[in-house]
A and B are shown apart, each in its own frame.
Chain A
Amino acid sequence: MTPLDQVILFVVDLSALLAVYLIINVGLNVQEGITGIPNFGIVFAVAGGAYITGGLSTRIAVSLLGTQTNLDPIFDNISVLQLVNPILRSQPPTAIALLILFLIIGGIAGALMGLISSAPAVRLREDYLAITLLAFGEILNVIGIGYKPLIGGPIGVNVPDIFGWAGQYRFYAGTLVLLLVATAIFAYAGYLIKTPLGRTLKAIRDNETVARSLGKDITQYRTVSILLGSTLCGIGGSLWVLYSGAVTPTYARFDWTFLPWLMILLGGMGSSRGVLVGTVIFVALNKLIIYYKHAFVGILPFDIVWLNYILLGLITILILIYRPEGIVREKWTAPKQNLSAADKEVKAG
């Protein structure tokens, strides 16, 4: 590989990771940043989207494409995909239609997981809610490992190659799709903050008692927020599986709850731009540390495996001490209408 190829590969890889984290971080920000629900269990929704996509995608592809086979889509996964993938490679529109279908399934799976994990807890106060959600994190991995028909147990399964039609540019196409979905979701989040719904969610975050006394059904709004955020997390998990081409029951809380939290803390909770800034800085930093940490072998007094954990932990502590509101402070988003105009109107009337 030429150095240029290496750079391109690094950028494509980075962009894909950036996109998937942006989607999930927006999902977390809707819950924690905007509504004030400390969801320490978003891994539940991410893994839900990922595992359900992993478990259903081959089965769905086989039945929709009318593939004749007696093989089991999960236990004879490789052989079945050898029948499915050539069809998808020759029919890009079918592949894209399936992609959209899988994303919808991933979103629904995420929403369901969000609902399951939070339904018993949504009436609790913040701190108890956080503890309950924390406890949910690992459940899906246990199911994924133990219940083989889901995603084949510990070794995982491959999924239909939705981007196979792009040939050697497969990962470029996948990255592009990830970036497109991430952009759309990011744009929606920016819009949401400016709607009356976003305003009410923020009001509930700022003062639950007053919001209640102003006629807001707190439980209902929290549920909307969790459903929305978890849907996005599920879509993120689903996309990541389709992009990687495989899924194993290893969706860890560190990667899919702890890191997203760090990113929105760093960037600035509640602010859309903050989420973007935090995601870009963090993902890039993490990737660079992983790429270059081998240069530190022998220099550091500990195994370099721990380097990014230590650095990321250190950064978190520094953010919380010196800039707890993050890099981008939450912006006041006044309604579009020009207020001075409204004032004049009032004075004239």
Chain B
Amino acid sequence: MGSLLEVKDVKRSFGSLRALDEVTLNVDEKTVTILIGPNGSGKTTLINVITGLQKPDEGHIYYGSTEITGWSPQQIYRTGIARTFQIPSMFGKLTVLENLLVAEKNHPGESFTKSLVRRLWAKHERDAVEKASKILQLLGLSEQSDMSASLLSGGQMKLVEIGRALMSDANLYLLDEPVSGVNPTLAHEIFARIIGLREQYGITFFIVEHRLDIALQYVDYVNAMASGRLIAAGPPEQVISDPKVIEAYLGA
């Protein structure tokens, strides 16, 4: 198994705050890796930097053998990296189904000239609706599919976030706290689905998550950050027994 995502010596500062301080980590192909760390330790910034929403000040990011440092978010999305957001960010006035459909890649109906003739995009749209409906079914959101997304509960919005990411057929998913605010049963289900997707399609997941009680039993690797630095990486048992991690994050 090679590494699918490689972050090398990445630095990013906001004024005098060092959000990322020489972070280096690997995410191996077809694994589920979580990233833990106290609030403000730079986890979300790392995801933003990987997905192109923020540019790193220094360092390199590789996706497979391709360097993607400094690429725009849309280039990164098209190359096969999809993400979700920590604070659920819906397209509030669109329906749940439409929220997923927006994520469809290379939809001919999004081009102005092709949008003029329904025949040129109707089939693609039908397929996309079918794909989206299947994903909603998977996430247990079929009944909400025609609801406006802003009316969903926080937990349901989390699911729509994941659903939207799944529409992209990406190889690497960066999920920012996918189960925060989700009830324990559903949270377990979400992680079980993640494992299922990994087994079935060989998808790789890199997940920021605080709820170790739920997440740990499902994941292959754990990375721990504190104050913008990576302080530990390895199999779950090893990382959570690491004194540095206990001091910075887990508490005595």
Contact = CB atoms under 8 A, between A and B. Distances in A.
Interface of A: 192, 195-200, 202-203, 205-207, 209-217, 224, 228, 270, 330, 332, 334-335, 337, 339, 342-343, 345-347
Nearest to A325: B93
B102 A200 contact: yes
B238 interface: no
A209 B94 contact: no
B83 interface: yes
B33 interface: no
Interface in B89-110: 89-95, 97-99, 101-105, 107-110
Contacts of A216: 74, 102
Contacts of A332: 93-95, 98, 146, 148
Given A332-B95, A337-B126, A213 B146 contact: no
Most buried by B among A205, A211, A213: A213
Contacts of B53: 209, 212-213
B93 A224 contact: no
A343 B142 CA distance: 7
Interface SS of chain A: helix, strand, loop or mixed? helix
Nearest to B107: A196
Contacts of A347: 137
Contacts of B110: 196-197, 200
20 contacts: A195-B118, A196-B101, A196-B108, A203-B94, A203-B98, A206-B90, A207-B90, A209-B85, A210-B91, A213-B51, A214-B168, A216-B74, A332-B98, A334-B95, A334-B98, A337-B125, A339-B133, A342-B130, A343-B133, A347-B137
Given A196-B110, A335-B125, A337-B129, A215 B95 contact: no
B102 A203 contact: yes
Given A215-B77, A343-B137, A195 B92 contact: no
A325 to B, nearest CB: 10
A107 to B, nearest CB: 14
Contact of A206 (B91, B107, B125, B142): B91
Given A197-B110, A200-B102, A345-B130, A213 B83 contact: yes
Nearest to A196: B109
B43 to A, nearest CB: 16
Contact of B115 (A197, A202, A210, A212): A197
Given A207-B91, A210-B89, A214-B77, A195 B115 contact: yes
B73 interface: yes
Contacts of A211: 91, 102
Contact of A196 (B78, B89, B121, B142): B121
B158 interface: no
B145 A199 contact: no
A202 B112 contact: no
Contacts of B129: 335, 337, 339, 342
B111 interface: yes
A335 B102 contact: no
Contacts of A342: 129-130, 133
Interface string B148-189: 100000000000000010001000000000000000000000
A224 B115 CA distance: 12
Residue from B53, B74, B101, B137 with most neighbouring chain A CB atoms (10 Å): B74
Interface string B28-52: 0000000000000000000000010
Given A207-B90, A213-B85, 19 more contacts: A196-B107, A196-B108, A197-B110, A197-B111, A199-B94, A199-B98, A202-B91, A206-B90, A212-B53, A214-B102, A215-B78, A215-B168, A270-B93, A330-B93, A334-B98, A337-B129, A339-B133, A339-B146, A346-B130
Contacts of A199: 94, 98, 101-102
A206 B145 contact: no
A337 B124 CA distance: 12
B93 A339 contact: no
B134 interface: yes
Contacts of A213: 51, 53, 73, 77, 83, 85
Nearest to B132: A342
Contacts of B146: 332, 334, 339
Contacts of B103: 214-215
A198 to B, nearest CB: 8
B82 to A, nearest CB: 8
Kindly name the residue among A192, A195, A211, A345 whose own CB sees the greatest number of chain B CB atoms within 10 A. Answer: A195
